Amino acid sequence: MDEKAIDRAVRLEHLVHHAQRCIALHFPFDAGLIAAAKHAGARWSKTHRCWYTPNAPEHLQEIFTAFKGKAWVDMNGLRKKAGTAAPARSMTPPAIQARVAGGAKPLAPAPAAARPTTAATALSNVQEDALATMRRKLEIGRYSPRSIQVYLGATKQLFQHFPNKHPNDIRTEDIEAFQHHLASVRKVSNSTLNQAVNAIRYYYMNVLGDERRVSFIERPRSERKLPSVLSEEEVTAILGSVANLKHQCILMLIYSAGLRLGELIHLHRTDIIPERKQVVIRGGKGRKDRITILSPKVLAKLDAYIEEYRPKEYLFEGQNGGPYSDTSVQAIFKQAKAKAGITAPATVHTLRHSFATHLLEKGTDLRYIQTLLGHSSSKTTEIYTHVSTKALGKIRSPLDDLDL
């Protein structure tokens, strides 16, 4: 290699580009070096302001071949870890490992096989970048904050389960092993397992564009659990045990309008339409707006509440402004339930289930209940026919006809 070639160094470094592991080529502007980079299959990145190729042994071989006699290839950047990631497997072909650029040391050997770890394992920079890219895609797709949180959380657990693997190197069989760990070791519910499948499928299909990797991963068998429902007497006892006006309005509005917790805390003052006795839900589940009923009893309480508390933007606000905390609502319900002496299992969402069931028992058409709840499919609403006591109460057990 002549002196001119030695003076013109090409510095190689790790690069994550569009969630793909790449090799960055840094060198001063030179028509001859640009031609060599193109000959090596490199492309220009406007984002990172450098040339790059996929990070694979064959591409590294092409780089050395293309720059042979033209520039010194500095591999020190490739010997470093990508951020805090685990050491990458050796990307250097055997021929180059023997003598790299006139005596440079070969890359470090491949690490031990990926091993499952705990959820507390810290993410590498590469994994953090992958999740950041996934977040951007989800936000562009206008997924709800809750869905984004669930998808990122499940994908993060997959990355943590294989701390020594680059996200792009996690194979179909690795994903299945992670699913088996969730099902058999952690024993998560079918719902949680299905959420993990949805999140992982989204990452590899929508972020990496690799549909084949997740086409055949197994989904858990669907469950059909009946919702918990409180009787009218139990609801009366719970609502009657709350003394605080604000807390009363919160629980009464959830039950009387069939609201989800997230819908309740994001209500604005302008979403209450007193003259039409309506509550407007904006951007509910599935990004759908809907209108539900406003009870005159709740309206009277709300008038007194607004007069006393004077909320500015949201109907129910925290001490420092902004929407009321969902954990605070859950605590209100838990305390009211305990004070009322209700021992049946129930959460805030049980009030919504009770709203639908009680409407059905009073003869309200199922299609209207579907609209009030914001269900896309009538099959979702039909589940309340299985917990309603109206029809079951008329059925006589055959035991009653026995002469015992």
Which residues are marked as active site?
A: 260, 285, 349, 352, 375, 384
What DSSP assignment string belongs to 306-334?
A: HHHH--SSBSSB-TTSSBPPHHHHHHHHH
Cα–Cα dist 40/56, whole Å? 12
CA distance 249 to 245: 6
CA 280/CA 109 separation, integer angstroms:
61
β-sheet with 9-17: strand ranges across? 43-45, 50-54, 20-26, 9-17, 72-75
Reference 283, options 295, 299, 265; nearest CA is: 265
- Contact yes or no for 67/30 (Cβ under 8 A): no
Contact 384, 355 (CB under 8 A): no
The whole-angstrom separation of Cα 152 and Cα 168 is: 16
Distance of CA 365 to the CA centre of its chain: 35
399: Cα separation from own chain's centroid: 51
